[in-house]
Amino acid sequence: MPSLADATRGRLLYGGDYNPEQWPEDVWPEDVRLMREAGVTTVTVGVFSWAKLEPAPGVHDFGWLRRVLDLLHGGGIEVCLATPTASPPPWLGELHPGTLPVTADGTTLSWGSRNQWCPSSADYRRHALALTEALAAEFGTHPAVRMWHVNNEYGPVCHCDETADRFRAWLQKRYGGLDAVNAAWGTAFWSQQHATWSTVAPPRAAPYLPNPAQQLDFRRFSSDVLLECFTAERDVLRRHTPHLPVTTNFMTLHPHLDCWAFAAEEDVVSLDSYPDPADPRAMVWASLGQDMTRGQARGPWLQMEMAASAVNWRGVNRAKPVDRLRLEALQAVARGADGLCFFQWRASRSGAEKFHSALLPHAGADTPQHRAVRTLGRELPLIAEVVGTDVEADVAVVLDWESWWALEQRGRPSDRVDLGPLVLAWHSALWDAHLTADYVHPEADLTRYRMVAVPNLYLATDAAIDNLTAYAAGGGTLVSGFFTGVADDTDTIRPGGMDERLRELLGVQPLEWRPLTGPAPLDGGGTADLWSEDLRLADGTEVLAAFADGTPAATCRGRARYLATLPEPALLRRLLADAAEAAGARPALAGLPAGVEAVRRGGLLFVLNHTADTVRIALPGPHRDLLAATGPAVTGPTVTDPEAAAPGAAAPGAPAPDSADPCTAALHLAPYGAAVLRPL
């Protein structure tokens, strides 16, 4: 199978989405020239070009794309060629109204935006695959083309009758028969039994709380049916170009896709990541997406989209300072990215995303933004030795989409408990403790990790529970969050309210869930939020933290720990850091100041200063800063010096002098500065 390495070939890819169809053809040569000057290696072409490539049903206009590819190839720019199936042209919806998605309340969504397709529609699939086939046949051998990008941010969900047909077939396959569906869905409750298959359908607008197991299965199905669309296109492409890797792009905490299942079918796993510049903890959120994607890729991955500055789809779209752009780019590489692509190359003058920033902004090349883009293009080759290497992590975090979908339904103990924020809180605590974590599926092999954290696994399969308990039995340190192991794979509550194996392992039984409406005080100070439990402790279970009323908040039994609440950040960090230390898991660098991130990848040490202060970091011996070598051309804030920097230099906010000697054990980083260090 082809892989990301076939595309990188030792380079860190650099580029972004290129949408030449939005521009007069005479702009294209300027684009290629500016790309070369910026160090761009790779652009993604054609993501939204269906209407341009097939202006009428079955009528192909491929000439313009060939001219673009030729031009790019002539300029040394490689291409990740997209199948444009994420946004069908208006004619498809008119010709086949059944290709348009239908909401749960029966509203048909029309064209005029994007994503207006029903993944169950046979008509959609036929047209999408035919165009994919034609593109592969036409351009699969074009020398510019180095990778395939299938569709875009898969996500459409449909509730139409054709979807219902496909959902029934999916259920038939999963359960074997209607009785099993009724049993799995618990339709004995509220008189929901299906007497015939004909009444089984997607969950549609209903008077009150919907059946949760039906909802869960529909989310599973909706992910699977999108995956079918992906694999169908991938198979066409593989047939034509077995040598070219295929990817589709995820998003951080992408709610519609089981990314584990998708990643298993991809040659390259790629991520679109848009941390919010208005969020002072955006780098933590970004690192979560990076670590998750690395977990799904089981190695290096590709940043398929990021923003040079602002996006256009938030309420208020803050601009991104140029130093933050560089920091974000290096962070992605540190955490496993083998390439950095942006949406998009040149800012659109029209359309719904004309206010999305670009590598080449509206104000042109002579701008601070574009100069930062060029600087980054010169820096990435300096650290290219990292390509293809692994990130060092001896902590794993368990994450599962099925459990997520089951957790976040109506009618649960507390709608304040959502998986995303919960995982982010745990991730944030690990980040603050300077611990790098891999994200893993609950049934994945855990033996290589010193500690496994489970922020929440409400729905846990028997296999997952066996996996976690076997890991613990083998000497691993398990830290489990509350409301874990509650339901089986049909969202049926396990006897006793929590799986018996987990109860035994953790030494606890929640007799009652007691969600909190706000922070509650802890014994000894601090607070915890979201949750508490009437917890029965087994003999030998130790209380690590308790609420002010004495209720246990965190417990320990041997190497297994249980958090019956969400402690405030400082306490959660301490609890996880203590567990990690006991387990022998270590930060990449000891003694790091708050807000400084250190990650080891492929023998290199990435040190990133996310603070507005100049920081001094002690290193365990002399290192060379690979980025310092670029000299004055790189006006980045990285500073190292032989001894402590001059007092003035270390003062917060003072301008940082360039390094006098890049080989030393004392690293100074200017505000938002970064260093990529190789031990000497």
Which residues carry out catalysis? 153, 305
Q: 6-35: which residues touch its own copies (CB under 8 A)?
A: 19, 21-22
Helix (H) or strand (E) holding 395: strand 395-398
Considering only 497, 526, 622, 642, the residue that binds its own copies (CB under 8 A) is: 497
With contacts defined by CB under 8 A, name the span among 5-13, 133-141, 434-442, 488-496 that binds its own copies.
488-496
Shortest distance (Å) from residue 99 CB to its own copies: 12
Name which of 322 and 596 has its Cβ closer to its own copies: 322
Taking the CA atoms of 73, 78, 81 and 86 in sequence, report the sign of the dihedral they define: negative
Shortest distance (Å) from residue 86 CB to its own copies: 8
Cα 116 → chain centroid? 24
In sequence order, which residues have a C-beta less than 8 Å from that of residue 264 and are 6 or more positions away?
none
Q: 43-82: which residues touch its own copies (CB under 8 A)?
A: 48-52, 55-56
Q: 406-435: which residues touch its own copies (CB under 8 A)?
A: 410-416
Name which of 368 and 679 has its Cβ closer to its own copies: 368
List the structure tokens of 555.
């417990």
Question: Left if phi > 0, otherwise alpha if psi is -120 to 50, otherwise beta: which for 432?
Answer: alpha
Site size toward its own copies (CB under 8 A) is: 112
Q: 151-170: which residues touch its own copies (CB under 8 A)?
A: 156
What DSSP line would sit under 2-24, residue for residue?
--HHHHHTTS-EEEEEE-GGGS-
Shortest distance (Å) from residue 473 CB to its own copies: 25
Name which of 550 and 631 has its Cβ closer to its own copies: 550
Name which of 381 and 497 has its Cβ closer to its own copies: 497
Cβ proximity of 184 and 119 under 8 Å: no
Name which of 301 and 531 has its Cβ closer to its own copies: 531
Taking the CA atoms of 280, 284, 290 and 296 in sequence, report the sign of the dihedral they define: negative
Binding string, residues 175-194; x marks residues near its own copies by CB under 8 A: ----------xxxxxxxxxx
Is 521 a binding residue for its own copies by CB under 8 A? The answer is: no
Considering only 71, 75, 130, 203, the residue that binds its own copies (CB under 8 A) is: 203
H helices of 104-205, in order, are 122-139, 161-175, 178-185
List the structure tokens of 71.
């031009």
Residue 49's alpha-carbon distances to 99, 131, 132, in angstroms, are 18, 11, 12
Name which of 175 and 355 has its Cβ closer to its own copies: 355
Cβ proximity of 527 and 520 under 8 Å: yes
Name which of 514 and 623 has its Cβ closer to its own copies: 514
Q: 274-313: which residues touch its own copies (CB under 8 A)?
A: 278, 309-310, 312-313
Shortest distance (Å) from residue 629 CB to its own copies: 30
In sequence order, which residues have a C-beta less than 8 Å from that of residue 302 and are 6 or more positions away?
4, 7, 13, 247, 268, 269, 270, 271, 337, 338, 339, 341
Question: End-to-end distance of the chain based on CA atoms, in angstroms?
Answer: 37
Shortest distance (Å) from residue 496 CB to its own copies: 6
Please give the single-letter amino acid code of residue 135: L
With contacts defined by CB under 8 A, name the span among 360-368, 574-582, 636-644, 667-675 that binds its own copies.
360-368
Classify residue 510 by its DSSP letter.
Answer: E
Q: 389-408: which residues touch its own copies (CB under 8 A)?
A: none
Shortest distance (Å) from residue 201 CB to its own copies: 7
Cβ proximity of 431 and 287 under 8 Å: yes
Name which of 197 and 574 has its Cβ closer to its own copies: 197
Considering only 362, 501, 616, 678, the residue that binds its own copies (CB under 8 A) is: 362
CA geometry: angle 264, 267, 269, nearest 5 deg = 75
List the structure tokens of 30.
């300027």
With contacts defined by CB under 8 A, name the span among 237-245, 356-364, 424-432, 644-652 that binds its own copies.
356-364
Shortest distance (Å) from residue 32 CB to its own copies: 19
Considering only 30, 37, 94, 500, the residue that binds its own copies (CB under 8 A) is: 94
Is 455 a binding residue for its own copies by CB under 8 A? The answer is: no
